[in-house]
Chains A and B, each alone.
Chain A
Amino acid sequence: MTVMSVTVNLSSDEVAKIKHFTQLDSENEAVATAAREFLRVIQLRELKAATGKLDYQAVGEDMEALELRERHLNQ
């Protein structure tokens, strides 16, 4: 993995908030942590768009539980 140095322009208020929420004193570490956290959350949320688009087969007890619940709701 290549590590790149990037210069970003942020207001002092934005930097202060980033340091506050990351609980880090170093501007460099705080901004890097915030960027990584942003990527983590955004990529995790990509799961939402995958529903119904993947070849998923509930197995064993999971399938039985789903079928039981659906029968119950349809009654």
Chain B
Amino acid sequence: MKEIRPVKEKVLTVSELTARIKKLLQARFFSIAVAGEVSNLRRPASGHIYFTLKDADSQIPAVCFREEARRLGVELKDGLEVTARGRITVYSPRGSYQLVVSEMEMRGAGSLQLALAKLKARLAAEGLFDPGRKKPLPPLPSRVGVVTSSSGAALRDILQVIGRRFGSIGVVINPVPVQGAAAAAEIVRAMEEFNRWKNVEVIIVGRGGGSAEDLQPFNEETVARAIAASEIPVISAVGHETDWTLADLAADLRAPTPSAAAELVIAEKRELLLRLERLERRLGLALNYLLGNLRGRVERALRSATLHDPRRLLWRSRQQLDELAGRLNRIPAVRIGFARQKLGDLNSRLRRRAATRLSFARQRAEALRLRLEAVNPEAVLGRGYSFTRRLSDGRIVTAASMLEIGETVRVRLKQGEFDSTVSRIFPAGGARRKKTEI
């Protein structure tokens, strides 16, 4: 049998083949997004992160280098479902390819919500949220513990209500981070510290508003358990008007905002002070009325036609009355009592007016500050955005259609700038990425 041999056979070396594979893969997969599950996560001291991205049938090695790893918005864990953006590189010495990741985001928020729902059901089944477990607030606490960030808006709001004003009580702040990986453990520790020292009679734990991710520490099992286990009554104030975190469910009382929590704490005291004021007023009025009444009766009796003897008797009673009234007014307690009522009245009116004006002014200042911050361009650049200018006329580029291939643009980052030449253009509605050669 004759052997059939191809006419021209090109025999490649391993290196040549690998080089071609490398060129092919790296060009073809220069910018891709891949969905998969994180596994085999390794974080060596170098700061680079190595892991495997996989699905049911395949897997691919992946790496996220230190620079990008620092800016990754996701807390990587084995088992996490993610969408990773990056490019394929081929490592010739080992004949392997990998995904070099530049960005990552979580997938399946649904699965996270499911996990939360399961945890909630499990804790509820244990009775952690039972109304029967909830303790009443102490009526006249002398000190309240506050577990929150020392620099956050929540603390500021609480102190505005409690602070040093009329009806105030002492405050002990136990500062903790209220978002991020370390938060849950710190919150748990703060709760345990107060329970160990027992230096406060009620605790407010909370933070201002934020995204679901920001609020995550308050949905951790450890935090819910620590709050439920606290012997000191706990008010949760996780600044989210409608949604309840596990912390809210476990607490003895839940307030929609930190200020509302503070109001709850001093409600009893304010109520008692008001009651006292009212009693003092009634006391004075009762005496006044009594005196007036008696005087009136005596005078009426005098005016009516009577016999001499009774008139003399009545005249003497009237004198006695005047005498008594004189003595009465000389009693310091009585004079002070009347003066105090008046003072108390004026005082509360003055306080209310001042407080309103002060808080109004504060609100306005705060609103202006927030508006100013929102339009601060530095803040935007700091988050990784950049803006691009055409060198031809210096105009800022907001649409790809404003550019031509070969045109030079200048890109301004938070720190520094660089020039770039447009090699390809993708008009809006096409592929997501705009490629520039750096």
- Is the A/B pair a real complex? no
Residues of B in contact with A (beta carbons under 8 Å apart):
none
Residues of A in contact with B (beta carbons under 8 Å apart):
none
